[in-house]
């Protein structure tokens, strides 16, 4: 379990009393994870940082509405998810999404026997090939360590659907990253 | 057991119930095919978990300190209505509390039997007849004292007014008499001065004549 529920709860209660230093402690604790989560959903670093700022601003404004302060983590991710989805919806309305060509192009190498930099490039490329729903579910499950029930509350989706998305996404990732016929990464898209 | 009967993704993610996890572990000890299957899933999970956590380009910080501190008089002004409201609330609470505590206790006398009630009435009647004359006298005396005070008060006030007027008249007469005396004294002084002047003139004239005749 990644949560530090007791600490978060104390900080949330203090922040609700108007202690901005307590809120800043919460931000310091979570900003890196939120930024990286948003970076998986929106690969543009500037955009991801703007989304992170918007997320924490919304959290600050709505902290009084959090029913259970011990559940601050999932609630924070839910706000971040909503912010990211709003951005993606706006982007779809404005026009076609920019292609992540470098990620996909370099994502053709396989995992086994590769250097860590190459692995991360390959994984990012493989993640980019998943659907938005699968990618977010896999990131929340594998990278962020949430339980299925917690992801269900973050995404406001049934836990069974979340489980299905995670399993399907992992199946696809294994096919994209694992060697086939002794050739690692053979399933990844080729330029 | 066939390896496909186990949820190796769930096992790798730690999402299986404890009993099922234990069963998987027991099976892994005896099935090489399932160990291979699990290792593939774990490699995929490890690869996804190996994604580096990037530092945000900047820190996100919320400012709490006021840019300029408010002057003391503005803080007092802002606190004024709150203090007034608190004072009014405390005063209202004190009044309500006093009213509640000062109320006479509710009558909770038990029901009396008819005989006892009659005896109490009789005893009360006797006590009233015994104390009534003295109470009437005291009331009469108290009334007489009040009437006397009521009749004497105007007379005393009138006497005081007469004394005041007399005093004013005496003062006026004294001032008038003093003025007359003063005027007479001034007249006498003026007469004496004129006499001295005439004598002086006469002496001066006589002296000049004598000096002229020489």
Residue A103 sits in a domain whose CATH number is: 1.10.10.10
Residues A176 and A107 in one domain: yes
Nearest CA to A30 out of A76, A61, A68, A63 is that of: A76
Q: What is the mean pLDDT of residues B199-211?
A: 86
Contact between chains at B45 and A143 (C-beta distance less than 8 A): no
Q: What's the gap in Å between the CA of B79 and the closest CA on chain A?
A: 19
Q: Which residue of A has its CA nearest to B42?
A: A174
Please determine, for residue A189, whether its predicted confidence score (pLDDT) is greater than 50. Answer: no
As a whole number of angstroms, the distance between CA A146 and CA A37 comes to: 12
Interface test with A, best of B14, B50, B62 (most A CBs within 10 A): B62
Amino acid A163: pLDDT:
95
User: Chain centroid to CA B128: how far?
Assistant: 49
Q: Are residues A88 and A3 part of one domain?
A: yes
From B2's Cα to the closest Cα of chain A, the distance in A is 19
Cα–Cα distance, B103 to B94 (Å, whole number): 14
Q: Does A49 touch chain B if contact means CB atoms closer than 8 Å?
A: yes
Extents of the domains making up chain B: 3-48
Residue A186 in domain: no
Contacts of B62 in chain A (CB under 8 A): 20, 23-24, 27, 56, 60
Same domain, A64 and A139: no
**A5 and A85 together in one domain:** yes
Write out chain B residues lying below 8 Å of A124, CB-based: 51
In this structure, are A127 and A82 located in the same domain?
no
Which residues in chain A are contacts of B64 at CB distance < 8 A? 19-21, 24
- What's the domain range around A155? 99-181
Number of domains in chain A: 2
Mean pLDDT of B48-75: 76
- Whether residue A188 lies inside any domain: the answer is no
**How many whole angstroms separate alpha carbon B139 and alpha carbon B145?**
10
Residue A39 tokens read as 């970076």
Of A39, A119, A148, the CB nearest to B47: A119
This prediction's pTM = 0.55
Contacts of B43 in chain A (CB under 8 A): 111-112, 177-178
A130 & A51 share domain: no
Which of the listed residues A97, A121, A149 is the one where a domain comes to its end? A97
pLDDT in tens, A20-33: 888 999 999 999 99
Tell me if A189 is assigned to some domain: no
State ipTM.
0.76
Residues of chain B with C-beta less than 8 angstroms from the C-beta of A56: 60, 62
Taking the CA of residue B55 and the nearest CA in chain A, the distance in Å comes to: 6
> Using CA atoms, how far apart are residues B18 and B25, in angstroms rounded to an integer?
11
Does residue A129 lie within any of the structural domains?
Answer: yes
In a domain, A155, yes or no: yes
**With an 8 Å Cβ cutoff, are A170 and B9 in contact?**
yes
Chain B residue with CA closest to A39: the answer is B54
Contact between A142 and B49 using a beta-carbon 8 Å cutoff: yes
Average model confidence (pLDDT) across chain B: 81
Of the candidates B51, B61, B63, which has its C-beta nearest A143's C-beta? B51
Q: B68 pLDDT exceeds 60?
A: no
Task: Tell me which chain B residue has its CA closest to the CA of residue A185.
Answer: B44
CA distances from residue B124 to B115, B135, B139 in whole angstroms, order as listed:
14, 15, 21
pLDDT of B183 higher than 80: yes
Q: CA of B78: how far to CAs of B45, B68, B69, B83, in Å?
A: 59, 16, 14, 9
Between B145 and A45, the higher pLDDT residue: A45
Domain check: are A174 and A149 in the same one?
Answer: yes
CA distance A68 to A65: 9
Lowest mean pLDDT among A124-138, B58-72, B136-150: B58-72
Residue A50, pLDDT > 90, answer yes
Same domain, A143 and A87: no
Q: Are residues A87 and A106 in the same domain?
A: no
Pair of tokens at residue B79: 């606190």
- The reply to whether A10 and A85 lie within a common domain is yes
Nearest to A167 among B9, B53, B60 (CB): B9
Q: What is the mean pLDDT of residues A158-175?
A: 94
């Amino acid at each position: 379990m990644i949560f530090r529920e007791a600490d978060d709860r104390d900080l949330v209660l203090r922040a609700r009393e108007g202690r901005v230093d307590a809120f800043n402690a919460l931000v310091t604790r979570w900003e890196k994870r939120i930024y990286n989560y948003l970076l998986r959903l929106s690969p543009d670093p500037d955009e991801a940082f703007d989304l992170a700022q918007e997320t924490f601003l919304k959290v600050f404004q709505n902290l009084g509405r959090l029913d259970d302060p011990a559940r601050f983590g999932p609630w924070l991710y839910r706000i971040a998810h909503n912010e990211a989805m709003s951005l993606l919806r706006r982007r779809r309305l404005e026009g076609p999404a920019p292609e992540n060509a470098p990620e996909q192009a370099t994502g053709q190498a396989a995992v086994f026997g590769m250097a860590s930099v190459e692995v991360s490039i390959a994984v990012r490329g493989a993640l980019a090939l998943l659907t938005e729903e699968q990618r977010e579910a896999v990131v929340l499950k594998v990278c962020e360590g949430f339980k299925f029930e917690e992801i269900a509350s973050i995404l406001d989706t049934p836990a069974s659907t979340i489980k299905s998305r995670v399993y399907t996404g992992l199946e696809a990732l294994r096919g994209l990253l694992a060697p086939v016929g002794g050739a690692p990464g053979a399933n990844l898209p080729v330029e | 057991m066939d390896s496909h009967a186990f949820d190796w993704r769930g096992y790798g993610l730690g999402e299986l119930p404890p009993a099922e996890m234990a069963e998987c572990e027991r099976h892994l000890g005896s099935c090489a095919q399932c160990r291979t299957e699990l290792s593939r899933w774990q490699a995929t999970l490890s690869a996804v978990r190996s994604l580096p956590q990037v530092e945000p380009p900047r820190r996100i910080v919320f400012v709490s300190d006021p840019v300029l501190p408010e002057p003391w008089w503005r803080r007092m002004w802002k606190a004024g209505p709150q203090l007034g409201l608190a004072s009014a609330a405390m005063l209202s609470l004190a009044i309500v509390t006093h009213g509640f505590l000062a109320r006479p206790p509710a009558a909770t006398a038990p029901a009396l039997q008819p005989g006892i009630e009659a005896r109490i009435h009789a005893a009360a009647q006797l006590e009233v007849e015994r104390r009534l004359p003295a109470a009437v006298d005291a009331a009469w005396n108290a009334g007489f004292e009040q009437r006397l005070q009521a009749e004497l008060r105007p007379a005393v006030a009138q006497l005081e007014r007469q004394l005041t007027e007399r005093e004013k008249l005496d003062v006026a007469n004294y001032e008038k008499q003093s003025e007359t005396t003063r005027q007479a004294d001034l007249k006498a002084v003026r007469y004496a001065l004129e006499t001295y002047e005439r004598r002086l003139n006469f002496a001066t004239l006589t002296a000049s004549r004598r000096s002229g005749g020489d």
